[in-house]
Amino acid sequence: MYPQRVAIVVILVLSLGMLSSMAMVNPSLVDELTGKFGLSAASDLQFSTFIGTSDYDYVNDVALDAEGNIYLVGTTWSTDFPTTAGSYRPWHTGGNYWEMDDAFVMKLSSDGQEIIYSTYLGGSSIDSGIDIAVDDEGCAYVVGGTTSPDFPTVNAYDSTYNGVEDCFVAKLSANGSDLLFSTFVGGSDEDHPYAISVDDTGNSIVVGRTRSSNFPVITTNTLPGCLSRGGPEDGFVCKLSPDGSEVEYSMYLGGAETTDEARGVATDSNGNVVVVGSTGSTDFPIVNAYDDTLSGIWDSVIVRLNATGHILFSTYYGGTELDGASAVSLDDAGSIYFSGIVKGGIFPKVGVNDEIFNGTWGISLVVMNSSGSEVTFSGVLENSGSEDFSPWCSGIFLVSEREVWLAGTTECSSFPTTENAFDRTVNGEDGFFVMIDPTSGSLRYSSLFGGTSDDALGGIAVTSNGDVVCAGRTASANLPNKNALISVRPGEQDGFVFRMTVDNSMYLLGLIVLGVAGIGAIIVIIAVVTLRSRRK
């Protein structure tokens, strides 16, 4: 009897181990199971509305506050854009037809049914709102580009327009009535921002690209790629004080050979900053690198700085062709989650268990530890595409190490979607939003969003109860709408925002079903072994 009992224990342990890893090794098995048993729940659109009026209006980013209120930033040509009484600037300030662009900031209630405030932000020339962050008090921090010498400045680090295009950084009060600070940032040539992040003490960190040879430099780093512009355009990172009146640090990030860009930025609770972007320069400022060699024509770059702006590490990351990072988020341990685009070649794969991440063209997701010494996940969400149809990632939102959301735009008819997607068909250019579990290397949710014309998603956020909020621009008159403030597209192109409930509980139910089936199999095995041992 003793050998048989040992055999039963061994079988039990091995079977349980097998079951615990089945979903990890082959997550599509769970997806197939949930589909066969009709367990895949459809996504539930809570609301979707156009944002805009008679002319061109674009929403470029979205953020949420602690109460779930929705903040939008974008650009409008409309002189009748929906603003609210008592907001900072309820009237349009742009100039003639080619200089009509004003930035705008809008705050909506969490259910999308009320405009809490809406304001223009700009001068007499071209102004564009690009990215937004919100602090714990509900104040909105906005970054954008301006060619307006009379762009409004308040308590500014730099109150003088410097030329061609400058960045602007502005902070609005929680009720949208006051401009708490507003400043130019830039040199005498073109300076274009891409992203902003706000740390726990209210400092705002801005990243972008610059052509200016006199972009402000305040840094302890002595690397040539930080002190002066090397190539035709370099990336930059600039940290402003909480009141916007001082630059804590500012530097270039680039090499001497090609254009370099800093496109995404995130901060941690200690004030450390992570910047991601792209470069084709072999002399990009590299420090304590995971990879110190440019692998392709273009690579992603990841730079981690401490609270004073000193570079802790800086590294290339990419495959053998064209790669570039555009969005980044950090978890509580400081691990770095970044996404971007991959165009061909051999991209490094780590922790990939689903063949859908073995792509050579598409959207990348990489998870790197806080010191930049180890990559725990690296994959490409497959798109069989070409130079003209490559997707673009414009936003990332980290819920947990098992739930990473990405948003962007694609024209690829083969873009992978899941059974419970809201929309699985590409119609021209569409927005996409996906949820990836890097711990299992699996795609948990993927959907398109759009109408029959061109649509793009510019940002993504997730509410405390797990609903997804996305915003972007559309030329589609038949964009899906529900509980809309504006249900008919008023201009040729307009912004939009939607909130979606995505039910992933069916996946967990699939795991339970798989587990129950596996336990049943174990019981059968044990019964057979026991009966045989008794017969002996």
The pLDDT value given to residue 315: 98
Q: Round to whole Å and give the CA distance between 264 and 270.
A: 18
The pLDDT value given to residue 384: 60
The pLDDT value given to residue 355: 77
Q: Round to whole Å and give the CA distance between 192 and 185.
A: 10
The pLDDT value given to residue 13: 45
* Residue 451 CA neighbour count, 13 Å, CB half: 20
The pLDDT value given to residue 122: 97
The pLDDT value given to residue 533: 59
* Residue 399 CA neighbour count, 13 Å, CB half: 19
Indicate the pTM of the whole model.
Answer: 0.89
CA distances, 518 to each of 444, 508, 512, 530 (Å): 22, 15, 10, 18
CB 404 within 8 A of CB 435: yes
Cα angle 494-153-69, degrees, rounded to a multiple of 5: 45
E-assigned strand segments in 453-514: 455-462, 468-474, 494-501
Burial class (CB in 10 A: 0-12, 13-18, 19+), 175: middle
Nearest in space to 118 (alpha carbons), one of 70, 150, 155: 70
The pLDDT value given to residue 344: 85
Cα separation of the two ends of the chain: 9
The pLDDT value given to residue 361: 81
For every residue of 9-60, which 3-state class applies, written as one string?
Answer: HHHHHHHHHHHHHHHHHCHHHHHHHHHHCCCCCCCEEEEEEEECCCCCEEEE
DSSP 482: B
| Local structure of 534: helix, strand or coil | helix
| pLDDT tens digit sequence for 365-419 | 999 999 999 999 999 987 665 545 567 899 999 999 999 999 999 988 888 999 9
Burial class (CB in 10 A: 0-12, 13-18, 19+), 489: buried
b/e per residue, 185-212, with b = 16+ CB within 10 A?
Answer: bbbebbbbbbbbbbbeebbbbbbbbbbb
Q: Round to whole Å and give the CA distance between 298 and 141.
A: 31
All residue ranges of the chain with pLDDT < 50 are: 6, 9-25, 27-28, 31, 33-41, 387, 511, 513-514
Locate tokens 């008919």: which residue?
488
